[in-house]
Amino acid sequence: MIYLDNNSTTLIPQEVRDAIIDCTQKYFANTASVSHYEGLKANRYLEECRRIVAQLMDAEPDNIVFNSGASEANNTVIRAVSDYYLPHGKVHIITSAIEHACLLKVCKHLQHYGVEVTYVPVDHSGRVCLDLLKAAIRPDTRLISIMAANNETGALQPLAEVSAIARENNILFHTDAAQWVGKLPFSVIEFKPDFVSISAHKFYGPRGVGALYCSRPDILRNSPLIHGGGQESGLRSGTVNLPGVAGMAKAAEMFLATYNQRIADQKVKKKYFIGSLLTLLPDVVINGCQQQSLPNTVNFSIPGIKASTLLKKLKMKVALSSASACHSAEQKPSHVLAAMGVKEELLDGSIRLSMSYSTTQEELDCALDLLVSYAQRLKGVA
């Protein structure tokens, strides 16, 4: 099996597995049990992991809140901001039409409770339209939430410009950076967000753990998503998943030590794959921006072929996807590509390929051979 679905989830490397197992043996106590030595030892290790994860975003450790991942973080921010401002009047949120389902659905849910939401369109490259974002701002706009990198096309959003617009209008800024952080350098000093959501399993850490960067703890503490024992400075109750955090910190440490090499290698392989694919199947359409995009992601459509049919042929040999993982079982056309204005006949044929840092040239060549071979058979030309 050639695994090319890394935007869905990533394989945990041996170093990360070792860190998780080591943590369960050395730091088994509850990090909140600071009345004895084992608890204090676990708590100190938790704070060391927090320091490492903070480095992923050029952040201060005190601004990092551990949780179950970006879906929880996105729900936390959208709900908390709404609860914070609703008692004082109307609440308006601006987001984009291509956000992850977890953010779109919590926005839709809150609209039933009086929160008003504007879904800003994107251009044909999949990047948010800044003029339309500016035009959507109202006196009661409390939050702008724009994802950092799209999970389906890899398109990088203009975060610096969005952040500047938010600051100029005294509006909070949140970004779901689950697909950016751990794939490319990210700096809260540069982008100046108030909130950032990340997931460990998107950058070779374990599933079920992530973090929220938060510069406004007063907003989260006013209405926490999970009520309980007040862990994570009262911002996220529940016993901290220390082995998961340990794996996340090790994955972060590995990225920080090797990201220049990883990025350069993936850019070369991405360019090679696109060039080879277009040579072998000249009618292929590349969806989204090829320049301002993740170095590991390619989204393409093969005219006249349904992605579901082709992926069924390949599923025991090559792991690819036709949309985000949360929609893969539904077989629905991508809302992201639809928002970009991709033609209807190409929506059903869209395929996402997402490499890991360890994807080899041989694996790409083999995947290309299989992909092209099955596509030609389905077209009746081979």
- 3-class SS letters over 298-352: EEEECCCCCHHHHHHHHCCCEECECCCHHHCCCCCCCHHHHHCCCCHHHHCCEEE
Residue 326 annotated to the active site: yes
What CATH number did the domain enclosing 302 receive?
3.90.1150.10
Interval 257-314: pLDDT, tens: 999 999 999 999 999 999 999 999 999 999 998 889 999 999 999 999 999 999 999 9
239 with 288, same domain: the answer is no
> How confident is the model at residue 382, as a pLDDT?
53
What CATH number did the domain enclosing 101 receive?
3.40.640.10
219 with 276, same domain: the answer is no
- Angle at the Cα of 259 (from 12 to 269), degrees rounded to 5? 85
57 with 79, same domain: the answer is yes
Closest to 299 measured CA to CA, from 266, 264, 334: 334
228 with 289, same domain: the answer is no
Residue from 102, 129, 289, 326 carrying the catalytic annotation: 326
Looking at 253, 269, 294, the residue that finishes a domain is 253
204 with 303, same domain: the answer is no
19 with 114, same domain: the answer is yes
Tokens representing 86 are 């609703």
Place of tokens 């990340």: 198
Exposure pattern of 138-168 as b/e (b: 16+ CB <10 Å)?
Answer: eeebbbbbbbbbbbbbbbbbbbeebbebbee
208 with 281, same domain: the answer is no
> How confident is the model at residue 331, as a pLDDT?
60
Q: Would you give the distance in Å from CA 226 to the centre of its chain?
A: 22
**DSSP-based three-state secondary structure for 50:** helix
Closest to 131 measured CA to CA, from 93, 165, 171, 91: 165
> How confident is the model at residue 380, as a pLDDT?
78
Count of structural domains within the chain:
2
Looking at 205, 228, 253, the residue that finishes a domain is 253
CA dist., res. 62 & res. 50, Å (int): 8
212 with 299, same domain: the answer is no
293 with 368, same domain: the answer is yes
> How confident is the model at residue 291, as a pLDDT?
87
Model confidence, pTM? 0.95
300 with 207, same domain: the answer is no
164 with 267, same domain: the answer is no
246 with 350, same domain: the answer is no
> How confident is the model at residue 325, as a pLDDT?
47
Strand partners, 285: 301
Looking at 212, 238, 253, the residue that finishes a domain is 253
> How confident is the model at residue 96, as a pLDDT?
98
Residue 165: give the domain boundaries.
14-253
CA dist., res. 290 & res. 48, Å (int): 38
CA dist., res. 284 & res. 293, Å (int): 19
> How confident is the model at residue 379, as a pLDDT?
84
Q: Provide the residue-wise pLDDT of the chain in tens; the chain has 382 residues.
A: 999 999 999 999 999 999 999 999 999 999 999 999 999 999 999 999 999 999 999 999 999 999 999 999 999 999 999 999 999 999 999 999 999 999 999 999 999 999 999 999 999 999 999 999 999 999 999 999 999 999 999 999 999 999 999 999 999 999 999 999 999 999 999 999 999 999 999 999 999 999 999 999 999 999 999 999 999 999 999 999 999 999 999 999 999 999 999 999 999 999 999 999 999 999 999 999 888 999 999 999 999 999 999 999 999 999 999 865 455 555 678 999 999 999 988 999 999 999 999 999 999 999 999 999 999 999 876 5
